[in-house]
Protein backbone atom coordinates (compact mmCIF):
# COMPACT_ATOMS: atom_id res chain seq x y z
CA UNK A 1 0.00 0.00 0.00
CA UNK A 2 1.28 3.45 -0.86
CA UNK A 3 0.11 6.46 1.13
CA UNK A 4 0.88 10.09 0.49
CA UNK A 5 1.95 11.96 3.62
CA UNK A 6 1.46 15.61 2.73
CA UNK A 7 2.99 18.07 5.18
CA UNK A 8 2.80 21.83 4.96
CA UNK A 9 5.44 23.70 6.91
CA UNK A 10 5.50 27.25 8.16
CA UNK A 11 9.01 28.07 9.27
CA UNK A 12 10.16 25.19 11.47
CA UNK A 13 6.61 24.14 12.32
CA UNK A 14 4.49 21.55 10.56
CA UNK A 15 1.36 23.64 10.06
CA UNK A 16 -0.69 20.85 8.48
CA UNK A 17 0.00 17.14 8.22
CA UNK A 18 -1.72 13.77 8.36
CA UNK A 19 -1.89 13.60 12.16
CA UNK A 20 -3.40 17.07 12.46
CA UNK A 21 -5.96 16.34 9.76
CA UNK A 22 -6.89 13.06 11.49
CA UNK A 23 -7.32 15.02 14.72
CA UNK A 24 -9.60 17.54 13.02
CA UNK A 25 -11.68 14.71 11.55
CA UNK A 26 -11.94 13.08 14.98
CA UNK A 27 -13.05 16.38 16.54
CA UNK A 28 -15.67 16.77 13.82
CA UNK A 29 -16.89 13.25 14.60
CA UNK A 30 -16.82 13.45 18.41
CA UNK A 31 -17.37 17.15 19.16
CA UNK A 32 -14.64 17.02 21.78
CA UNK A 33 -10.86 17.32 21.92
CA UNK A 34 -10.75 14.78 24.74
CA UNK A 35 -12.84 12.21 22.89
CA UNK A 36 -10.96 12.87 19.64
CA UNK A 37 -7.61 12.37 21.38
CA UNK A 38 -8.81 9.12 22.96
CA UNK A 39 -10.08 7.83 19.61
CA UNK A 40 -6.60 8.41 18.16
CA UNK A 41 -4.82 6.92 21.19
CA UNK A 42 -3.30 10.32 21.94
CA UNK A 43 -3.07 12.28 25.16
CA UNK A 44 -5.27 15.34 25.58
CA UNK A 45 -2.12 17.44 26.02
CA UNK A 46 -0.65 16.21 22.73
CA UNK A 47 -3.93 16.90 20.92
CA UNK A 48 -4.14 20.38 22.44
CA UNK A 49 -0.52 21.16 21.45
CA UNK A 50 -1.14 20.00 17.87
CA UNK A 51 -4.28 22.14 17.62
CA UNK A 52 -2.56 25.15 19.13
CA UNK A 53 0.36 24.82 16.72
CA UNK A 54 -2.00 24.45 13.76
CA UNK A 55 -4.29 27.32 14.79
CA UNK A 56 -1.28 29.63 15.22
CA UNK A 57 -0.09 28.69 11.71
CA UNK A 58 -3.42 29.45 10.04
CA UNK A 59 -5.00 32.82 9.24
CA UNK A 60 -8.18 31.66 10.96
CA UNK A 61 -8.44 28.93 13.61
CA UNK A 62 -9.51 25.46 12.47
CA UNK A 63 -11.23 24.64 15.77
CA UNK A 64 -13.47 26.59 18.09
CA UNK A 65 -13.84 25.43 21.69
CA UNK A 66 -16.28 26.14 24.45
CA UNK A 67 -15.36 25.90 28.11
CA UNK A 68 -16.55 23.04 30.23
CA UNK A 69 -19.11 23.33 32.96
CA UNK A 70 -21.97 21.26 34.24
CA UNK A 71 -22.75 20.09 30.70
CA UNK A 72 -19.09 19.86 29.67
CA UNK A 73 -17.24 21.76 26.99
CA UNK A 74 -16.96 21.01 23.35
CA UNK A 75 -15.07 21.63 20.17
CA UNK A 76 -16.23 22.18 16.61
CA UNK A 77 -14.47 22.76 13.35
CA UNK A 78 -14.76 26.26 12.00
CA UNK A 79 -15.63 26.84 8.36
CA UNK A 80 -11.87 27.21 7.79
CA UNK A 81 -11.24 23.89 9.55
CA UNK A 82 -13.78 22.05 7.41
CA UNK A 83 -12.34 23.65 4.28
CA UNK A 84 -8.81 22.66 5.34
CA UNK A 85 -9.79 19.01 5.81
CA UNK A 86 -11.64 18.89 2.48
CA UNK A 87 -8.73 20.50 0.60
CA UNK A 88 -6.17 18.22 2.23
CA UNK A 89 -8.14 15.06 1.39
CA UNK A 90 -8.79 16.27 -2.17
CA UNK A 91 -5.07 16.94 -2.70
CA UNK A 92 -4.31 13.40 -1.49
CA UNK A 93 -6.90 11.89 -3.83
CA UNK A 94 -5.84 13.93 -6.86
CA UNK A 95 -2.15 13.20 -6.29
CA UNK A 96 -2.86 9.47 -6.05
CA UNK A 97 -4.99 9.60 -9.18
CA UNK A 98 -2.40 11.56 -11.15
CA UNK A 99 0.32 9.09 -10.16
CA UNK A 100 -1.77 5.93 -10.52
CA UNK A 101 0.40 4.29 -13.19
CA UNK A 102 3.67 5.19 -11.49
CA UNK A 103 2.31 3.86 -8.18
CA UNK A 104 1.33 0.60 -9.87
CA UNK A 105 4.84 0.33 -11.38
CA UNK A 106 6.51 1.13 -8.06
CA UNK A 107 4.38 -1.43 -6.22
CA UNK A 108 5.39 -4.00 -8.86
CA UNK A 109 9.01 -3.56 -7.80
CA UNK A 110 8.27 -4.75 -4.27
CA UNK A 111 8.81 -8.32 -3.13
CA UNK A 112 5.51 -9.93 -2.28
CA–CA separation, 20 and 13 (whole Å):
12
Q: What is the pLDDT of residue 69?
A: 60
Which DSSP string do the residues of 19-36 spell out, in sequence order? HHHHHHHHHHHHS-HHHH
Domain that holds residue 39: 8-107
Q: What is the pLDDT of residue 70?
A: 58
Split at pLDDT 50, 70, 90, the class of 66 is confident
Q: How many domains does the chain have?
A: 1
**Which CATH number is 23's domain given?**
1.10.10.10
Q: Is residue 112 part of a domain?
A: no
Q: Is residue 37 part of a domain?
A: yes
Q: Which of 43, 44, 54 is nearest to 13 (CA)?
A: 54
CA–CA separation, 81 and 20 (whole Å):
11
Q: Is residue 3 part of a domain?
A: no
Average pLDDT value for residue range 6-16: 90
Q: Is residue 28 part of a domain?
A: yes
Helix (H) or strand (E) holding 9: strand 8-10
Split at pLDDT 50, 70, 90, the class of 72 is low
Q: How far apart are the first and last CA of the chain?
A: 12
For a pLDDT cut of 70, what percent of the chain falls above it? Answer: 96
pTM (2 d.p.) = 0.87
Amino acid sequence: MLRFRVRVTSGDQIAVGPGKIALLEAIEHTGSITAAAKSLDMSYRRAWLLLDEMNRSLREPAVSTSQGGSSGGGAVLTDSGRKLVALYRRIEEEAASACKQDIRTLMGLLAR
